[in-house]
Amino acid sequence: MTEMESVIAGVCSAIKACGVGNVFPAYPYGTRERYLSPVVTVGVKSGSGMGASFAEYLGESYDRETDRYTEIYGKRLEITLALGVYSPVSEEYGANGCASVFGEIVSALPALPSGVKTREIKCGETVFDEKTGMFLLESEIRLTAFLTAESSDEDEVLDFTLRGTVK
């Protein structure tokens, strides 16, 4: 899983944990299917990455059990995620379903992995989307994500993991 995919997966998991059942990465799923309840898509709008310190090196950790040192590296990503909140045309949901789900997304922000810090969340107005036949509320979240990787002498490639997630 790439670094951006791990951030998107963490955001999707947090939104699902707050009760939104249909949450997908924006690609390749999109919203081609007709849903009977609201849907949220999460994709990258923009982003940049940088080392968290000099040449991404953070220091060493020592494992007493194996008598081994491991080097620790870090990255920081500045990401803007595009969220599409879709709500079916029905008495139960309709255009108000978009606002309700957006509220659930806002309440999900504290459930994000500890390596993801929310900087800003904003949304536009709810419109009817002709392509999907659903109401759409476009929103975005600006985040800072912190990733770490560990390397020992035999490691050649570093796999960065989002802080606060399980490997």
| Domain range 3-151, CATH architecture | 2-Layer Sandwich (3.30)
Mean pLDDT, range 95-121, rounded to an integer? 92
Mean pLDDT, range 50-64, rounded to an integer? 72
Worst-scoring range by mean pLDDT, 43-57, 66-80, 138-152? 43-57
Residue 163 is predicted with a pLDDT of: 66
Amino acid identity, position 68? R
**Whose CA is closest to 160, among 65, 91, 77, 36?**
77
pTM of structure: 0.79
Length of the chain (residues): 167
Residues 6 or more apart whose CB falls under 8 angstroms from that of 20 comprise 38, 40, 101, 104, 105, 108
Tens digits of residue pLDDT in 140-154:
999 998 888 877 666
Tens digits of residue pLDDT in 92-102:
999 999 999 99
CA distance 111 to 6: 15
- Residues 99, 123 contacting (CB under 8 angstroms): no
> For the chain, which residues make up each domain, given as ranges?
3-151
